[in-house]
A and B are shown apart, each in its own frame.
Chain A
Amino acid sequence: MSNTVVPVGPFHPLLEEAEFFKLHVDGETVTDIDTDIGYMHRGHEFISERKTFTQSIFLVERICGICSTSHPLAFVHAIEDIDNIDIPIRAAYIRTLIGELERVHSHLLWLGLAGHFIGYDTLWMWAWRYREPILEILETTTGNRNHYGMLRVGGVARDVPPEMIPVLLQPLDMIERKMDMIAKAAADDPVLRTRLKGVGVLSRQAAVDYCAVGPTARASGVAIDVRKDEPKDAYGLVDFKAIVLANGDVYDKLVVRVLEILESVKIIRQCLEKLKSAPGPILNDVKEVSAGEGIGRYEAPRGEVFHYVRTDGSNRPLRHKVRAPSYVNIPTCEASCKGIPLADALITLASIDPCYCCTERAIVLDRQGVRIAADLVGLSREKTERLRREIHG
């Protein structure tokens, strides 16, 4: 065991919430990683048991600012699972539409930050530029850029009027063109490929052992996607591919997300076309929920969100269990970070897609607390620059 520890956290721009990674390094090589969580435990499960089912939708929406459709969708799926409640077809398309818009803006957010960490600031600015029209579509359809308040047990709260649809379709062409361009750039850019290929590899077996989900698992060749495995809402009615790659490195995680954006745009387009004429109400009136237990899940941008609800016939959950995808994806860093250079640690930790803002506070300390190296973002960007000089002269 080395005697130098690189602390990342508990409050660090890499991390959406406060977590603490202690990277043990021997020279430039990461030899071990110790993860400490619990800084952001907010007691959602406890609070939910004191709220009505409808109130809990708004509560779970606030578990994550980015996945503010995924959690309530999984929650209402769990309630609907208890009594086998069906939803109207129009509501199914609206749910799928909002869920996929969320996936696009989440992946674009990650893409931008990944670019920033490896010194591709143009990619960062482009990705966030193209994220704006998606947020505007969400604002137009739901009234909010985040925390949409759209979901209800038995359907959705607000309709998407057919006369609004041509306006919503307009930005999709541009997003598709730009994503094609980024996908081609990722494939053609020798520096990007050299920088990310073979970095932070999570083997297929490790992904299975750690029970990883989402793009983290799919980049390692594990073909799991809730949208395909248990299609709810309109996922059984639209045409799309689950993107699965094989290498498990950061490059494949990037490519999975870029290609998923294109698939999501395809789904969004199909939903909007269907919503021009899909008949019916948007909400089935659910008067009560019987005693029982139900499982609900949804493929959030980072992977499967899971909610389990036990009820006793009252209007509140007796037990409500929530499992977000990062809970199973973060431990995979044990496998993907060991043996890699410190300059690759940042992008490897980021490749599981925690959300973060862009300030830099990590420093490398020895056991006596003496600063001995530059910040992690600086190390990562220096390595990219070195590769760029080697390749382009």
Chain B
Amino acid sequence: MAERDHFLDGLEGKIGRTNAKKGRLYFEVADKDLPDVVRHLFLTKGCRLTTATAMEMYRGLEVLYHFSHDASGGYYCPRVVITDLKDPRMRSISPIVKGAEWIEREMSELFGITFEGHPHPEKLLTRDHPNPPQRPLRLRRRT
């Protein structure tokens, strides 16, 4: 993305491995830096959170937030990698972006990730389920 350098000005040292293509920028951030990155994208740059995607990969659990910059049509996607698969936890961005509440609750339920600081950490999909499945989207890697 041509505007990448200017767009992420102020986040020097917080951006890890990046993958840029036409209109898309995927970049890794450490869990501790995620709130600053989200504040920059959502509050400073006026991006809109579309959703977030969790996935289990060989190196751990990845949580990829999708921020749309509607003025330019581009997407900025910070990615957090969690390597502790037994007790995966990371910071919640819901205190900054209210629109993240549901998707973080969903990821917590489907992948077993604890989002620290989430204002309403109850289950989203199986709140009244008598026998809810445990982390149903984990451990389904193709062989």
Contact = CB atoms under 8 A, between A and B. Distances in A.
Interface of A: 36-38, 41, 45-46, 49, 81, 84, 208-212, 223-224, 229-231, 293-295, 297, 304, 306, 308, 310, 318-319, 321, 323, 327-328, 331
Contacts of B21: 84
Most buried by A among B21, B71, B127, B136: B21
Nearest to B52: A321
B8 interface: no
B128 interface: yes
A105 to B, nearest CB: 26
A327 B98 contact: no
A320 to B, nearest CB: 9
B126 to A, nearest CB: 6
Contacts of B140: 46, 49
B131 to A, nearest CB: 14
Contact of B50 (A81, A223, A304, A331): A304
B55 A319 contact: yes
B66 A295 contact: yes
14 contacts: A38-B125, A49-B140, A84-B22, A211-B50, A211-B100, A212-B99, A223-B70, A229-B68, A231-B73, A294-B24, A295-B75, A306-B51, A328-B99, A328-B102
A306 B53 CA distance: 11
Nearest to A316: B142
A37 B125 contact: yes
B97 interface: yes
A180 to B, nearest CB: 30
Size category of the binding interface on chain B: 35 or more
A318 B142 contact: yes
Nearest to A35: B102
Given A229-B73, A230-B23, A295-B66, A36 B128 contact: yes
- Looking at chain A's contact residues, the main secondary structure is mixed
Interface in B1-50: 19, 21-24, 26, 48-50
Interface of B: 19, 21-24, 26, 48-51, 53, 55, 64, 66, 68, 70-73, 75, 77, 97-103, 123-129, 136-137, 140, 142
A308 B53 contact: yes
B127 A36 contact: yes
Contacts of B127: 36, 38
B139 to A, nearest CB: 12
Contacts of B100: 211
B55 A310 contact: yes
Given A81-B24, A210-B98, A295-B24, A327 B51 contact: yes
Contacts of B55: 310, 318-319
B107 to A, nearest CB: 10
B128 to A, nearest CB: 7
Given A36-B127, A81-B24, A318-B142, A210 B53 contact: no
B97 A211 contact: yes
A207 B30 CA distance: 29
A41 B129 CA distance: 12
A64 B142 CA distance: 28
A49 B23 CA distance: 25
A327 B102 contact: yes
Contacts of A297: 50
A328 B129 CA distance: 23
Contacts of A231: 73
